[in-house]
Amino acid sequence: MNNGQEKKVVIELQDVRRDFKVGDEVVHALRGVSFKIYEGEFVTIMGTSGSGKSTLLNQLGCLDTPTKGEYYLDGVAVRTMSKSQRAKLRNRKIGFVFQNYNLLAKTTAVDNVALPLMYNSKYNARERREAAIEALKAVGLGDRLEHKSNQMSGGQMQRVAIARALVNDPAVILADEATGNLDTRTSFEMLVLFQKLHKEGRTIIFVTHNPDIAKYSSRNIMLRDGKIREDVVNTNIQSAADALAALPVNQDD
């Protein structure tokens, strides 16, 4: 990242360590991780289970704090923040996309998407709804505003979840195995959407164990045993849309 001077740093980790006590033993889940992520990057973080991937995601998502080291999100030091300060930070700066969507049951798409704004007193009911509709249009669900979560397909649910991650205009979108529960075709549809968001200037961190996804992102960080093993910029970003078009049609229907 030689052009760091011009681009804004969204995420900065300085020698982040995270230890867990399991019984009498101390497990070192993260053993000193440092990197910077700049605005507009689409980063995949990969690693096998046990590599510290989930622990790193929890750190990045401000759900947990480092045992040692510093984490700056959009210039704010996270380690010393209280629980409710971190909740507020998540609310304003982070959009989460989960593997199993985590939508509210029996709740409409609009209400699901508006959920993060419920915890932001700057928005009133009308503004929440407007923002939610806009986010749903951005993910291509403008015609399914009042569909309830149990009336939607997996792909639609994940689109709603992505819309929910967009609604607060976050500094970074954190996707945790966001295609893990979807079939190949729908997975590519999601990647197309993520690439579209990337083109629009969003910062995306995509945590996955699937190495294929790295081809579609702009940078790839590989974790092993709590350390960064590889951090490479992808100069040859492939188009998910092309890959989707190349899929045999009858495979999914």
Partner 1 sequence: MTAIANNAFRSFLSMLGIIIGVAAVIIMMAIGQGSKQSIRAEISKMGTNIINIRPGARQRGGVRLDPSAMQTLKVEDYEAIVNNKKYVTYVSPEVTASGQCIFGANNTSTTMYGESLEYLDIKQWELKDGDCFTDDDIRKGAKVCVIGQTIVEELFSNTNPVGKNIRFKSIPFKVIGVLKEKGENSWGMDQDNVIVAPYTTVMKRLNAQTYFSSITCSAITEEMTDNAIDELTAVLRENHKIREGADDDFSINSQAEMMDTMSSTMDTITVILVVAAAFSLLVAGIGIMNIMLVSVTERTKEIGLRMSVGARGIDISNQFLIESIMISLTGGILGILLGWLLTLAANAIGLPASIPAWSILVSFAVCTVIGVGFGYFPAKKAASLDPIEAIRYE
Residue 61 interacts with partner 1 (CB under 8 A): yes or no: yes
Please tell me the distance from the alpha carbon of residue 150 to that of residue 144, in angstroms, as a whole number: 13
Segment near partner 1 (CB under 8 A); pick from 57-65, 123-131, 205-213, 239-247: 57-65
- Classify residue 104 by its DSSP letter: P
CB of 68 to partner 1, least distance (A): 19
Phi, psi (deg, nearest 5) at residue 241: -65, -40
Residue 83 interacts with partner 1 (CB under 8 A): yes or no: yes
C-beta separation of 72 from 12 below 8 A: yes
CB of 107 to partner 1, least distance (A): 7
Segment near partner 1 (CB under 8 A); pick from 94-102, 133-141, 151-159, 177-185: 94-102
Residue 151 interacts with partner 1 (CB under 8 A): yes or no: no
Residue among 63, 61, 152 nearest 112 (CA): 152
Residue 106 interacts with partner 1 (CB under 8 A): yes or no: yes
Angle at 158 between CA 156 and CA 162, to 5 degrees: 115
Residue 224 interacts with partner 1 (CB under 8 A): yes or no: no
Say if strands 68-73 and 9-22 run parallel, antiparallel, or are unpaired: antiparallel
Residue among 154, 232, 243 nearest 191 (CA): 243
CB of 48 to partner 1, least distance (A): 18
Site for partner 1 in 15-54 (CB under 8 A): none
Q: Which residues bind partner 1 (CB under 8 A)?
A: 58, 61, 63-64, 83-84, 87-88, 90-92, 96, 98, 102, 104-107, 115-116, 118-120, 164, 168
